[in-house]
Structure 1
Amino acid sequence: MPTQSDMTTHLDTGVLDLLQHQVAVFARRAEQTRLGGVGQARNSMDRAAYLLLNRLDKEGPMGVKALAAGMGIDSSTVTRQVAPLVDSGMVKRTSHPEDGRAVVLQLSPRGKARLEEVRCSRRALMAQVTDGWTSEEQDIFCDLLTRFNVALAAAHATVPQAASAS
């Protein structure tokens, strides 16, 4: 199996340096703006809340374990992140339809409305940022960014826990 050093010697280190630098800049810019959108909804929903609400909206009601597994995070993290969403009325805890003892999380009408408001604001920001790009360029960027995120998630999943804790 090739070592990490072997893999990088076969690739252009200049491109890899530029890529890692641009990813770092992107992460900083994303955190600064929180990619929150434009107008009143800007910076109004943190990343964790957005991702949780979005998943519940797209996949429907589910338990904490399923939500955590689908997001690639720990159940305790989901529990901690969902608590303020429940408190604010954006997520409801309901009984599982087949097992009344189990609890499922469900997007509330208030959560759905708030999520749509934030989505609209974020769409406006993406339109503003990519103004002047062709549809093809937007599609290519989305495809490549999706591919990058999938590969990054896979790489993170293969890192031993002791190494990832540092």
Structure 2
Amino acid sequence: MPTSSDMTTQLDTNVLDALQHQVALFARRAEQTRLGGIGNARNSMDRAAYLLLNRLDQEGPMGVKALAAGMGIDSSTVTRQVAPLVDSGMVKRTSHPEDGRAVVLQLSPRGKARLEEVRSSRRDLMALVTEEWTPDERDVFCELLTRFNTALSAVHTAMPQASPAS
């Protein structure tokens, strides 16, 4: 089985260098704009809040452990990121329907409205950025970016986690 360095020599290093550079630029520009959209909702929701609210909207109420597992992050991180969303009324804690002792997180009507406002603003930004693209180009880019993110997530999951410093 070829090693990682064997794979690199088999592939076009110029393309790989260009790809890593473009990904780095994308990461910087995404942070600069926070891909927050345009208009009043621009830069109005951080990435963590957006991803948490979006997941709760798409998958429904769930516990912290399930939310963390689905997002590939630690439960303590989810707990920390959810706290301000609960405080602001965008997420509510409710009892689990089958086990009243367990708590589930649920998107509130306020959170749903806020999420839709941010989504709309971000849609407007994506439309502006890709306004000269054909519908097929948008589809292909979305498909490839999804594939890239999935592969990157798989690599991250397969990597051994660094142990905390003593």
TM-score (norm. length: structure 2) = 0.97
Q: Tell me the TM-score normalized by structure 1.
A: 0.97
The corresponding residue for 1:36 is 36
Question: Which residue in the other structure is 1:111 paired with?
Answer: 111
- AA of the residue aligned to 1:139: D
- CA positional deviation for 1:82: 0.1
Indicate yes or no: 2:112 matched with 1:94: no
Uncovered stretches (5+) of structure 2, i.e. residues with no partner: none
What is the identity, as a one-letter code, of the residue corresponding to 2:70?
G
Q: CA deviation at 1:160?
A: 1.0
Identity of aligned residues (%): 85
Tell me, what secondary structure is at the counterpart of 1:162?
coil
Letter aligned with residue 118 of structure 1 = V
CA distance in 1, matches of 2:87, 2:100: 22
Q: For residue 6 of structure 1, report the CA deviation from its aligned partner.
A: 0.6
Structure 1 residue ranges, 4+ long, deviating more than 3 angstroms after superposition: none
Residue 3 of structure 1: CA displacement? 1.5
- Quote the residue 1:134 is aligned against: 134
Distance 2:158 2:50 in 1: 26
Alpha-carbon shift at residue 162 of structure 1 (Å):
2.5
Query: Structure 2: how far apart are the matches of 1:161 and 1:51?
Result: 22
Aligned equivalent of 1:47 = 47
Query: What's the counterpart of residue 158 of structure 2?
Result: 158
Ranges in structure 1 where 5+ consecutive residues have no aligned partner:
none
Structure 2 distance, partners of 1:61, 1:143, is 28
> What is the aligned length?
164
- Name the structure 2 match of 1:6: 6
Q: Distance in 1 between matches of 2:159 and 2:101?
A: 36
Aligned mates of 2:157, 2:73 — CA distance in 1: 11
Residue type at the aligned position of 1:145? L
- Tell me the secondary structure at the aligned position of residue 144 of structure 1: helix
Q: 1:94, 1:55 → 2: CA distance?
A: 17
RMSD of aligned alpha carbons: 1.1
The CA distance in 2 between the partners of 1:121 and 1:160, in whole Å, is 38
Residue type of the alignment partner of 1:80: R
Q: 1-side partners of 2:97 and 2:37: how far apart?
A: 36
Task: Give the counterpart letter for 2:3 in structure 1.
Answer: T
Residue 113 (structure 1) shift? 0.2
1:71 aligns with 2:71: yes
Q: Distance in 1 between matches of 2:113 and 2:95?
A: 23
CA distance in 1 between counterparts of 2:160 and 2:90 reads: 35
Find the residue that maps to 1:69 and give its secondary structure. helix
1:128 partner amino acid? L
